[in-house]
Chains A and B, each alone.
Chain A
């Protein structure tokens, strides 16, 4: 089976400081990969390199495109990469504000990706947007309201709807539950788990919260100082960590 995403030797430096070094892994269709580590471990740098927001100093990010098969997205032209970014890829930001247009209605936010790929029927766009609001548990009556009037949890769910509406094949998530209240986090996680299962999504989730990966990730990478120190099946790594740092990380949080 061809991996959906094959990451090879990704390295990014900031001057003398290492962002992330020589990271490689394969992600297969339908798989969810979790990347954990404390802040400064390089997990967000890695995510941004993979998603095309940062240009790595070395390495390849090979994506199995629909039309041309595996292609290195780093050497791809910018129009091609941006096209991927609004079709097969999605990116969920930690702060919903970074991923939403705060001055545009909820319906417009969800509809934007549809319109960007050529949808030109207002009624259809609105219907799909309303449908997606329902799937992320936002009442259909809010379709014309701006996200500024939404709670933090609702904004994050709206951001997820906006990203998933075009049926992306790969979702990048950067601390999707960060900054939310615990009860709101639980509901969001539950929702995400349902969506991942129902849509057969492939995803890469960066988080410092082990509860998130326990619930969502099939496999796990533990990062420290820019390096991957341990990788394996989620349960395996969490229940029987081998590397000293992973042991510290696992023991420092409450078991979920």
Chain B
């Protein structure tokens, strides 16, 4: 006699309890605090904020803790939380020219107004495991000096003054909102950038890398990479002017790319652009390269069929929350579809004259 499988509810509860226990790990080891994650795993926190599209280091740290360090799971938690938040309004566009830079480098000019500021970077460290950290992670205070006063001008502005780089005209059109409107093709640049800034870091990196290796090649110089905090201002209708509501740390990357020019336009450099929440350098550079590759049409370049040139391909597959959900849904039961396929295959095999050995087992 057969008894149908029951008790999905109990099984789920038990699985969740076990998960909570696993998350905590060995109780002999001190529990990880959210503040510890926020302060000491800041680059994970930054990635979760960037791809989660929500600037809140404490929530991101909490999500990382809850997700047992699985960053895509943490991003998912943040996204799901984000949708429930009411929207009070939109800020004024942030002015990255007024950024208080922790890091600001240019690969195109050796020296320039505002200077090269290395900031806290892994770039010139030797990647040797530091066993001392395992025992004692206390550090001496780093040397410091007063920050130089005044705004740090953008490198591309210097080129622009000479007409050497394409104009990026000021545009007051409100950008489309990916989180409030469905993604529709063809997507303009504002929408593409919006999708890229929250795109999966690994996917964006892979695409950017592919353009460097010749799949839609367009040699890029890092015109400028800057990381620092910018004030966020919001227009308060009752006051009639914008007030500062806080500040966010951003990473901005502007690439300078070759462009041969055409009959109507003299040769000029072109631009790729990346702007991402937090200190997220790899992502911002990747974003700028992919942005530039996607602009082939407006710049009159050939479509060589490279993945990074294909806006539909890039934008529909860059979101890791969509991707991971759909990928993992194949774990869900598919008895019904599978059953209908079974029937069909059996029927076709029967017609093809294959003996049905299994029938005998019934």
The residues of A with any CB-CB pair to B shorter than 8 Å are 15-17
Contact = CB atoms under 8 A, between A and B. Distances in A.
Contacts of B179: none
B264 interface: yes
A199 to B, nearest CB: 37
B263 interface: yes
Interface in B87-109: none
Contacts of B264: 15-16
Contacts of A17: 263
A15 B262 CA distance: 10
Nearest to A14: B263
Nearest to B262: A15
A17 B263 CA distance: 10
Interface string B45-70: 00000000000000000000000000
A16 B263 CA distance: 8
Interface string B245-279: 00000000000000000111000000000000000
Contacts of B262: 15
Interface of B: 262-264
B266 to A, nearest CB: 15
Contacts of A16: 263-264
A16 B265 CA distance: 12
Contacts, number: 6
Main secondary structure of the interface of B (DSSP, over half): loop
A149 to B, nearest CB: 22
A16 B262 CA distance: 11
A29 to B, nearest CB: 40
Nearest to A16: B263
A16 B264 CA distance: 9
A17 B262 CA distance: 12
A19 to B, nearest CB: 14
A136 to B, nearest CB: 31
A15 B263 CA distance: 8
A15 B300 CA distance: 12
Contacts of B263: 15-17
Nearest to B300: A15
Contacts of A15: 262-264
6 contacts: A15-B262, A15-B263, A15-B264, A16-B263, A16-B264, A17-B263
Nearest to A17: B263
A157 B262 CA distance: 40
A104 to B, nearest CB: 20
A172 to B, nearest CB: 24
A207 B353 CA distance: 53
A18 to B, nearest CB: 13
A221 B264 CA distance: 32
A15 B261 CA distance: 14
A40 to B, nearest CB: 16
A146 B262 CA distance: 43
B348 to A, nearest CB: 16
B122 to A, nearest CB: 47
A160 to B, nearest CB: 28
A238 to B, nearest CB: 36
Q: Sort A-B residue pairs by CB-CB distance and give the 4 closest, nearest first.
A: A16-B263, A15-B263, A15-B264, A16-B264
A16 to B, nearest CB: 6
B265 to A, nearest CB: 10
A66 to B, nearest CB: 35
Nearest to B264: A15
A15 B264 CA distance: 8
B247 to A, nearest CB: 47
A93 B318 CA distance: 36
A60 to B, nearest CB: 29
B264 to A, nearest CB: 6
A98 to B, nearest CB: 14
B74 to A, nearest CB: 41
A233 B266 CA distance: 46
A95 to B, nearest CB: 16
A43 to B, nearest CB: 22
B262 to A, nearest CB: 8
A17 B300 CA distance: 15
